[in-house]
Chains A and B, each alone.
Chain A
Amino acid sequence: MISNHPFFYRLLGYEAQRKRAWARAPKGALKDFLSIEFPDPNTPLSDIDILSVDFETTGLHAINDKLLSVGFIGIKQQQISLKDSYHQIIKTKDELSADNVIIHQITDQQKEQGAPLKEVVEVLLNALAGKVMLVHFARIERQFLQQACLELYGVAPVFPMIDTLMIAKRQLDKKDVAYDPSDLRLSALRYQHGLPNHFAHNALNDAIATAELLMVQVSNMPNSTLKLNDLLL
């Protein structure tokens, strides 16, 4: 029975949570986002619209640290369309620490010219409506986005997500051989799959890099039977 499948339960949970959050959300971007149904888990993956998202942050803790920039790109019919790309630096109040600047290369000056958090989150929610979110290492994006929504709207919704790191991890775990956690980094996985080097730690570049990685991972799976719930977190 399909309804006995663990992923089915999980997605039931997603849909139920979506409806609950929708009811509680104030009028505006978040409510609009939540008003659109999440994709049916039995949809073939090739028919799913995906939004690959990456955040650059000042650190790893959603409560203490801040969102610095957001980049995303759409995948439709297994093609990445650069037209649907977005990148925005966010104007946060905190001073940036020097060793952090080295990683994401966003300076205080650039940050000052950035957009307010609310504006950026609204663009993202609008783009995400009806789509599945793709990330590499879901914890960061999920927690920071939920935290942002909590601050802006008082509600922390759920997001159906595909995580390229988890896909790789499951495959490695299945093989039952020891591996180094650094093998699961985006650039390491791209290298293993023969993808070109990319300029990392820019939110849009990483979003594109993740989208490409997903296409390769999917192409290595038996395509005809692949459904959304085979990949959902």
Chain B
Amino acid sequence: MDSELAEISAFIQAIPPFDTLPATVTLQLVKEINICYVRAKQPLPPKGIEEARLYILRKGALVYTDHNGQLVGKYTEGEICSVFCRPAQRNEVNVNTEEDTLLYSLNYQKLLSLVTDYPQIDAFFMQTAAERLKGKMSKVNEEAIINSSLINNPISQFYHKPVLTINSEQSIQQAAIEMTAKDVSCLVVINPEKDTASVPVGIVTDKDIRRRCVAEGLPFTRPVSEIMTIDMATLPEQSSAYDALMLMTSKRIHHLPITGFSQSGEYGELVAMVTITDLMNNEGHNAVNITSIIRKAGTINDLIRISKLLPKLQIRMAKLGTSADHVGKSISAITMAFTIRIIEMSEKINGKAPVPYAWLACGSQGRQEQLAHSDQDNALIISDDLRPEHEAWFENLASFVCDGLAACGFVLCPGDIMATNPKWRQPQKKWHKYFEQWVNTPRPQALLNGCVFFDLTTVHGDESLLNDVRVKLLKKTSGNSLFLAHMSRNALMLRPPLGFFRDFVLISDGDHKSSLDIKHNGIAPIVDLARIYALAEGIASVNTIERLQKAAGTPSISRESAANLIDAYEFLGILRLEHQANLLQVNKEANNYLSPKKLSKLEREHLKDAFKVIKALQDSRQSTS
């Protein structure tokens, strides 16, 4: 009769990874347990115990510190100390009891011999924090692949080929006949004079025939090249389906030719075509759908109605187990669509822009990491041809768009980083100057406010305006140790709360008593690190994951560390998404304050792992700058 140890069995069975074991195996483990009691402020292992043992906290608390006496972690009831499982690990960290502590301990070799059929147990204890997180994230990604199609799938799964083409010399009528016969609304125009016959020179659609031929009274015997759209957007075939969606949203196009490498190695050969319908059919009522109805909206009121769908979309994506990257990109794409549509409405009222300009997004939208109804952070960059009499047009545009976005639930930026602020509605030369100041004479406070501008993206308008600024900026920042040191100092002010599960650095005021600010203590530190790596290495990307991917293997960060940081970032992102989805579902306002009590034990383990990864990289940043 063994049920007498049921109490201890139940306790062990509730703790990952033992929760994956059958009860009979757990009972065998329980019989191997030694119970010991260690008073507060004593070192572990208990005196006289040299063999490799695993310790499980029944009561009390343990504190881990590194060689410098810095706190590395705290462990409490129901948590496991695996430091003494392998002799090599023993010297990395000092373990002391913080309170009087009752410990269950297991001889590690004996434990392994009992769970040989359950390799996950050994793996759990032998992996480092980073490795465990990676295991978790690959599982999450699998779910995302099952549940979603766009972000994780290459565009090749959606496009169709062969692409219907027409020679640029053929007539408009021949194009119309071809389109009717094949029942398509679009043909890619190719140039027969070139050797590489399949390089596209333009695209012709139903709309072009209607607007540029019939409406203009152009004879349909004219060559199709006269009405085709040139400078068309194309996308390399390695791109993801979401890249296609982003491009089509920003360019407001429905057809996107996909290009690959030609046999001669030359880039740009036409391989396929993807339409917005191809993407929509696959995703049903979701991001793609919403962007397409935004495009058709006639008034701000229509847009307000559509904006109510955003929280629902976010809930749905979170519940599907979609990755945080995916959600961020979808919501950002939708915000982009809103912004463009409102800009179009403004242009309808105030006429076309007097000089070229671009509407810019910064902060989370710029990085494509936005969540439903976050603050708007935006700016305007205007051509240097700007004259004083033009300024009113841009002011009108700024207030129309910012008000419109606010009406759609995008809260006005409390820091006044918006195009309505004249400071952030400036000609290109002024933007050059801003960045020059931030980089050449960095002052901590100015940099703190300015760091959102290192994440700028063009939402609408002339992309070259911002690109020029960025090229110049990156030349100045890469290898600029003084500037990077200032950026690092700011970035290191936000530290992950390592003592999280006991008396950790919690927000102790107002409504969010005893909660963890997952944005500021977890996500923001990673975003900051990625930004510094990008600026140091001259990387133009602004999306955090892309920055980390591109910085991987540079002097700034090793490949392995970058991969760990991406895993940590994704994990924290998912935790935040789930938390917000739960709030949104009960009609509460989404926030970033996680209550540790609401987390499962496993989530806490992973959260701790994520914090460790961040801290390790922050520390190495500190020592290099």
A binding-site residues for B, Cβ under 8 Å: 71, 77-83, 85, 87-89, 193-196, 198-199, 202-205, 208, 211-212, 215-216, 219
In the complex, chain A residues whose CB is within 8 Å of the CB of B46:
78-79
- Interface assignment of B37: CB less than 8 Å from any CB of chain A: yes
Most chain A beta-carbon contacts within 10 A, residue among B32, B39, B58, B102? B102
CA distance A129 to B1 in the complex (A): 24
B38 to chain A, nearest CB (A): 8
CB pair A212 B102 closer than 8 Å: yes
Sample of 30 A–B contacts (CB below 8 Å): A78-B46, A79-B34, A79-B46, A79-B105, A80-B34, A80-B35, A81-B33, A82-B8, A82-B32, A82-B33, A82-B34, A83-B32, A85-B4, A89-B1, A194-B60, A194-B100, A195-B59, A196-B58, A196-B102, A198-B7, A199-B7, A202-B4, A204-B4, A204-B5, A205-B7, A211-B35, A212-B35, A212-B102, A215-B36, A216-B100
CB pair A81 B37 closer than 8 Å: no
Give B1-21 interface residues, CB cut-off 8 Å to A. Answer: 1, 4-5, 7-8
For the complex with contacts A80-B35, A82-B34, A202-B4, 6 further pairs of A-B residues with Cβ separation under 8 Å are A79-B35, A79-B105, A87-B1, A194-B99, A195-B59, A195-B102
B275 to chain A, nearest CB (A): 64
CB pair A87 B4 closer than 8 Å: yes
In the complex, chain A residues whose CB is within 8 Å of the CB of B7:
198-199, 205
In the complex, chain B residues whose CB is within 8 Å of the CB of A205:
4, 7
A106 to chain B, nearest CB (A): 11
In the complex, chain A residues whose CB is within 8 Å of the CB of B34:
79-82
Q: State which of B4, B32, B59 has its C-beta within 8 Å of the C-beta of A71.
A: B4
> Closest residue to A193 on the B side, CB-wise?
B100
User: Given A196-B58, A212-B37, is A82 in contact with B5 using a C-beta cutoff of 8 Å?
Assistant: yes
- Interface assignment of B574: CB less than 8 Å from any CB of chain A: no
CA distance A203 to B33 in the complex (A): 19
In the complex, chain A residues whose CB is within 8 Å of the CB of B48:
77
5 cross-chain pairs, A with B, having the tightest CB-CB distances, nearest first = A80-B35, A215-B37, A204-B4, A87-B4, A79-B34
A165 to chain B, nearest CB (A): 18
- Interface assignment of B161: CB less than 8 Å from any CB of chain A: no
Q: Interface residues of B toward A: which range?
A: 20 to 34
In the complex, chain B residues whose CB is within 8 Å of the CB of A216:
37, 100
- Interface assignment of B529: CB less than 8 Å from any CB of chain A: no
- Interface assignment of B30: CB less than 8 Å from any CB of chain A: yes
- Interface assignment of B210: CB less than 8 Å from any CB of chain A: no
In the complex, chain B residues whose CB is within 8 Å of the CB of A208:
35
In the complex, chain A residues whose CB is within 8 Å of the CB of B207:
none
Chain B 81-108: CB-based contact to A (< 8 A → 1; otherwise 0): 0000000000000000001101001000
In the complex, chain B residues whose CB is within 8 Å of the CB of A202:
4
CB pair A79 B36 closer than 8 Å: yes
Most chain A beta-carbon contacts within 10 A, residue among B4, B31, B48, B99? B4
B37 to chain A, nearest CB (A): 4
In the complex, chain B residues whose CB is within 8 Å of the CB of A89:
1
> Closest residue to B103 on the A side, CB-wise?
A79
CB pair B59 A196 closer than 8 Å: yes
In the complex, chain A residues whose CB is within 8 Å of the CB of B36:
78-80, 215
A126 to chain B, nearest CB (A): 19
B99 to chain A, nearest CB (A): 8
- Main SS of chain A's interface residues? mixed
Q: State which of A195, A211, A219 has its C-beta within 8 Å of the C-beta of B39.
A: A219
Give B303-346 interface residues, CB cut-off 8 Å to A. Answer: none
In the complex, chain A residues whose CB is within 8 Å of the CB of B32:
82-83
CA distance A71 to B105 in the complex (A): 21
In the complex, chain A residues whose CB is within 8 Å of the CB of B38:
219
CA distance A196 to B38 in the complex (A): 15
A145 to chain B, nearest CB (A): 20
B415 to chain A, nearest CB (A): 48
B33 to chain A, nearest CB (A): 5
B27 to chain A, nearest CB (A): 10
In the complex, chain A residues whose CB is within 8 Å of the CB of B5:
82, 85, 204
CA distance A77 to B34 in the complex (A): 11
In the complex, chain B residues whose CB is within 8 Å of the CB of A204:
4-5
In the complex, chain B residues whose CB is within 8 Å of the CB of A78:
36-37, 46
In the complex, chain B residues whose CB is within 8 Å of the CB of A203:
4
CA distance A215 to B46 in the complex (A): 13
CA distance A204 to B2 in the complex (A): 10
CB pair B4 A194 closer than 8 Å: no
User: Given A77-B48, A82-B31, A85-B31, is A219 in contact with B100 using a C-beta cutoff of 8 Å?
Assistant: yes
In the complex, chain A residues whose CB is within 8 Å of the CB of B59:
194-196
A162 to chain B, nearest CB (A): 16
CB pair B35 A82 closer than 8 Å: yes
In the complex, chain A residues whose CB is within 8 Å of the CB of B60:
194
In the complex, chain A residues whose CB is within 8 Å of the CB of B105:
79
A44 to chain B, nearest CB (A): 13
> Closest residue to B6 on the A side, CB-wise?
A199
In the complex, chain A residues whose CB is within 8 Å of the CB of B8:
82
In the complex, chain B residues whose CB is within 8 Å of the CB of A82:
5, 8, 30-35
CA distance A195 to B60 in the complex (A): 9
CB pair A219 B37 closer than 8 Å: yes
CA distance A211 to B36 in the complex (A): 10
> Closest residue to A73 on the B side, CB-wise?
B35
A159 to chain B, nearest CB (A): 23
> Closest residue to B33 on the A side, CB-wise?
A82
CA distance A211 to B8 in the complex (A): 15
B41 to chain A, nearest CB (A): 12
CA distance A219 to B102 in the complex (A): 12
CA distance A219 to B40 in the complex (A): 10
A170 to chain B, nearest CB (A): 20
A51 to chain B, nearest CB (A): 15
CA distance A94 to B482 in the complex (A): 89
CA distance A209 to B566 in the complex (A): 46
> Closest residue to A209 on the B side, CB-wise?
B7
Chain B 374-399: CB-based contact to A (< 8 A → 1; otherwise 0): 00000000000000000000000000
In the complex, chain B residues whose CB is within 8 Å of the CB of A196:
58-59, 102
CA distance A198 to B7 in the complex (A): 8
B600 to chain A, nearest CB (A): 21
A61 to chain B, nearest CB (A): 26
CA distance A216 to B40 in the complex (A): 11
CA distance A216 to B38 in the complex (A): 8
Chain B 33-77: CB-based contact to A (< 8 A → 1; otherwise 0): 111111100000010100000000011100000000000000000
CA distance A208 to B4 in the complex (A): 11
> Closest residue to A214 on the B side, CB-wise?
B37
CA distance A79 to B39 in the complex (A): 14
> Closest residue to B58 on the A side, CB-wise?
A196
Chain B 505-545: CB-based contact to A (< 8 A → 1; otherwise 0): 00000000000000000000000000000000000000000
CB pair A83 B100 closer than 8 Å: no
CA distance A59 to B520 in the complex (A): 62
CA distance A204 to B31 in the complex (A): 13
CA distance A216 to B7 in the complex (A): 20
Most chain A beta-carbon contacts within 10 A, residue among B8, B30, B34? B34
> Closest residue to B38 on the A side, CB-wise?
A219
CA distance A196 to B10 in the complex (A): 14
CA distance A203 to B5 in the complex (A): 11
CA distance A88 to B2 in the complex (A): 10
A37 to chain B, nearest CB (A): 25
B109 to chain A, nearest CB (A): 15
CA distance A80 to B104 in the complex (A): 9
CB pair A83 B31 closer than 8 Å: yes
CA distance A216 to B4 in the complex (A): 23
